[in-house]
Chains A and B, each alone.
Chain A
């Protein structure tokens, strides 16, 4: 069967599989009544996601759930359909694939590899930091290609898809530009190191900037903060009323 025919056939199979045993309207009504009852009971707890801070205070300490990358998962599917998962560490996706393939080969199974994601509780401040990628590479004795490979490996380990990575070195200056995507968000970082720091590529995240620039209206400040949240891959609501800035930031996971 050629590829297009297989895709057509598989789309039909998906259509059939998703039509089986679907909940009825009565099931939906019952499930939603239950969900509404639960949400009414949990309304008080849900409000903990709202964090109020004074301008410039910057310390957002309430814990929120986030998904973070921690190693890799290999899903092994044997010829008879049995499925097993194995969690392990590897420096990058390529190494993880090699490792998974070696395990699968011994079992006569197929393997797929995905970053292992786990739910963690972090303060909003830490979450904002964690939502950006971090890169730290000692460039001494390494070629540009080596440095680039190391940057890409670090991005992948943190769950980012590395895009363009360029390195320029000379006259005691190192310039690195890194683009990366995750969850539909793109971040481009331009880093220039000089003097004693030129041997090291360090891209460190920055906290949310809630500073009101001269002449900035409430709405302009709100947009400035929202843009930072979006850039960090977070959903959020921001209310700015004079000196009061209220930020609700949510990365993922269930509400507490």
Chain B
């Protein structure tokens, strides 16, 4: 790992790890994705002409690696056991349930939709920035976001209906 790579990465390091984790179904998978992206960036650093554009250049690599993982059936893998809700930690239990629920919901989206939601809703990227990162037009990103939100809503409503049905079956 070159010192130059590390210097350029340092200001965005924590944010990039968080983004990688949010694109994946577990923190461990997110850390792996981040590491793959850093390795790729390190290999290709000579192609970066303007160091001031490192952030967008690196995030574009992160998204490319994310989609490549998706093609490897990344999202078909089961949720790792270790990331199951930890009921022994009451103060955080509810939040972890919510995080788990959202991670499962994001898994039903296409990689492009998942990226759009994560970058816009959680990372604070603008629509223009997302369009540049995804190499899409602004209208395409807007429609992707709207479609992703609708699919999330549908997933949550379906989940709630399934839970209600199970509860009815348990306590008729």
B-contacting residues of A (Cβ < 8 Å)? 3-4, 6-7, 9-23, 25, 28-29, 31-33, 35-36, 39, 67, 73, 75, 77, 80-81, 83, 85, 105, 108, 110, 112, 114-115, 117, 159, 183-184, 233, 235, 251-253
Contact = CB atoms under 8 A, between A and B. Distances in A.
Given A81-B86, A183-B70, A22 B156 contact: no
Contact of B1 (A21, A33, A183): A33
Interface in B46-96: 67-68, 70-73, 76-79, 81, 84-87, 94-96
Nearest to A80: B87
A221 B106 CA distance: 39
The main secondary structure of chain B at its interface with chain A is helix
B33 to A, nearest CB: 12
A7 B87 contact: no
Contacts of A25: 6, 9-10, 13
Given A18-B30, A67-B72, A3 B156 contact: yes
7 contacts: A3-B153, A13-B96, A15-B18, A28-B9, A28-B38, A35-B35, A36-B1
A182 to B, nearest CB: 9
Contact of A18 (B18, B35, B77, B169): B18
A69 to B, nearest CB: 9
Contact of B79 (A75, A105, A235, A251): A75
Nearest to B98: A13
Given A18-B30, A22-B17, A83-B84, A7 B153 contact: yes
A117 B152 CA distance: 25
B132 interface: no
A252 B71 CA distance: 8
B101 interface: yes
A202 B103 CA distance: 39
B134 interface: no
A14 B72 contact: no
Contacts of A10: 98-99, 101-102, 105
A252 B72 contact: yes
A14 B102 contact: yes
B102 A13 contact: yes
Given A67-B73, A235-B68, 7 more contacts: A13-B95, A16-B99, A17-B95, A22-B31, A67-B72, A183-B73, A252-B71
Contacts of B163: 110
B42 A183 contact: no
B157 interface: yes
A28 B13 contact: yes
Q: 5 closest pairs, A vs B, by CB?
A: A13-B98, A17-B99, A252-B72, A18-B21, A10-B102
A18 B76 CA distance: 20
B140 interface: no
Contact of B71 (A75, A112, A233): A233
Contacts of B103: 14
